[in-house]
Chain A
Amino acid sequence: MTIEIKTSTLAPVRNTYAHIERRFGDKPATRYQEATYDVQSESYFHYRPLWQPDKELNDPSRTAITMEDWYDFKDPRQYYYGSYVQQRAKMQENAENNYAFFEKRNLSAHLSDDVQKKIIQFLLPLRHVEHTANLNNVYASAYGYGTAITQAFLYNGMDRLAIAQYLSRIGLILDGNTGESLQQAKSNWMDNSLWQEMRRYCEQTTTVEDWFEVFIAQDVVLDSLVYHLFYELLDKQLSDEGASDLGMLTEFMRQWNKDTTRWVDSVLKVAIAKSDDNKRLIENWISHWLEKSTVALLPISNTLLGDAGLQESQVSFNKRLNKVGLFK
Chain B
Amino acid sequence: MAKKLNIKDKYRLLTRDLDWAYSYADRSKAFPFEEFEGIKITDWSKWEDPFRLTMDAYWKYQAEKEKKLYAIFDAFSQNNGHLNISDPRYVNAIKIFLTGVSPLEYQAYQGFAHVGRQFGGVGARVACQMQSLDELRHVQTQIHAMSHYNKFFDGFQDFSHMHDRVWYLSVPKSFFNDARAAGPFEFMIAIGFSFEYVLTNLLFVPFMSGAAHNGDMATVTFGFSAQSDEARHMTLGLEIIKFLLEQHEDNVPIVQKWIDKWFWRGTRLLTIVAMMMDYMLPNKVMSWKEAWEVYFEEAGGALFKDLARYGIEMPKYADVIEKEKDHVSHQAWWTFYTLGHAAGFHTWIPTDQELDWLSEKYPDTFDKYYRPRWELAKKMADEGNRFYSPGLPQLCTTCQIPMIFTEMDDPTKTCYRDHVHNGERYHFCSDGCKDIFCDEPEKYVQSWLPVHQIFQGNCGGPDVADILSDFYKMNVGADNLDIEGSPDLERWKKWQNAS
Contact = CB atoms under 8 A, between A and B. Distances in A.
Interface of A: 1-6, 9-10, 12-19, 21, 31, 34-35, 38-51, 57-58, 80-82, 85-86, 88-89, 91-93, 95-96, 103, 127-128, 130-131, 134-135, 138-139, 141-143, 147, 150-151, 154-155, 157-159, 161-162, 164-166, 168-169, 171-173, 176-179, 182, 186, 189-190, 196, 199-200, 203-204, 206-207
A4 B499 contact: yes
B177 A46 contact: yes
A154 B153 CA distance: 33
Given A44-B448, A138-B113, A172-B5, A127 B499 contact: no
B117 A40 contact: no
Contacts of A96: 56
A186 B20 CA distance: 9
A232 B277 CA distance: 59
Given A131-B19, A199-B20, 19 more contacts: A9-B494, A10-B80, A10-B495, A14-B150, A17-B157, A18-B161, A35-B140, A44-B170, A47-B177, A51-B36, A51-B184, A147-B106, A157-B129, A158-B58, A165-B56, A172-B13, A176-B2, A176-B3, A186-B20
At the interface, is chain A mostly helix, strand, loop or mixed? Answer: helix
Contact of A128 (B13, B20, B139, B487): B20
Contacts of A178: 3
Contacts of A42: 164
> A46, A131, A157: which has the most chain B beta carbons within 10 Å?
A46
Contacts of A169: 14
Given A17-B159, A203-B23, A31 B164 contact: no
A154 B473 contact: no
Given A46-B178, A50-B36, A31 B18 contact: no
B486 interface: no
B188 interface: no
Contacts of A82: 66, 69-70, 137, 140-141, 144
Nearest to A142: B113
B180 interface: yes
B160 A41 contact: yes
A80 to B, nearest CB: 5
B160 A19 contact: yes
A177 B161 contact: no
Nearest to B5: A177
A138 B109 CA distance: 11
Counting chain A CB atoms within 10 Å of each CB, the highest count among B66, B165, B182, B443 belongs to B66
Contact of B173 (A12, A41, A200): A41
Given A81-B136, A203-B24, A47 B113 contact: no
B81 to A, nearest CB: 10
A134 B147 CA distance: 33
Contacts of B32: 51
Contact of A1 (B13, B152, B160, B499): B499
Nearest to A29: B147
Interface of B: 1-5, 9-10, 13-15, 17-20, 22-26, 29-30, 32-33, 36, 54-56, 58-60, 62-64, 66-67, 69-70, 79-80, 83-84, 103, 106-107, 109-110, 113-114, 116-117, 122, 125-126, 129-130, 132-133, 136-137, 139-141, 143-144, 147, 150-154, 156-161, 163-165, 170, 173-174, 177-178, 180-184, 443-444, 446-448, 453, 473, 487, 491, 494-495, 498-499
Contacts of B109: 154
A82 B15 CA distance: 24
Contacts of B151: 12-16
A51 B33 contact: yes
A18 B479 CA distance: 13
Contact of B84 (A1, A164, A206): A1
A91 B177 CA distance: 37
B216 to A, nearest CB: 14
A37 to B, nearest CB: 9
A85 B495 contact: no
B213 to A, nearest CB: 16
B398 to A, nearest CB: 11
B24 A17 contact: no
Contacts of B180: 49, 57
Contact of A89 (B60, B83, B184): B60
Contacts of B9: 179
Contact of A49 (B30, B80, B141, B181): B181
The 9 closest A-B pairs by CB, nearest first: A89-B63, A162-B55, A12-B151, A203-B25, A131-B18, A200-B24, A142-B113, A35-B140, A18-B157
Most buried by A among B5, B109, B163, B174: B109
A196 B4 CA distance: 33
A57 B23 contact: no
Given A35-B143, A199-B24, A206-B25, A168 B14 contact: yes
Contacts of B23: 190, 196, 199-200, 203
A93 B61 CA distance: 12
Given A82-B141, A168-B13, A138 B182 contact: no
A223 B261 CA distance: 44
Contacts of B170: 44, 46
A206 B117 CA distance: 10
A189 B143 CA distance: 44
Contacts of A177: 2-5
B21 to A, nearest CB: 8
B22 A203 contact: yes
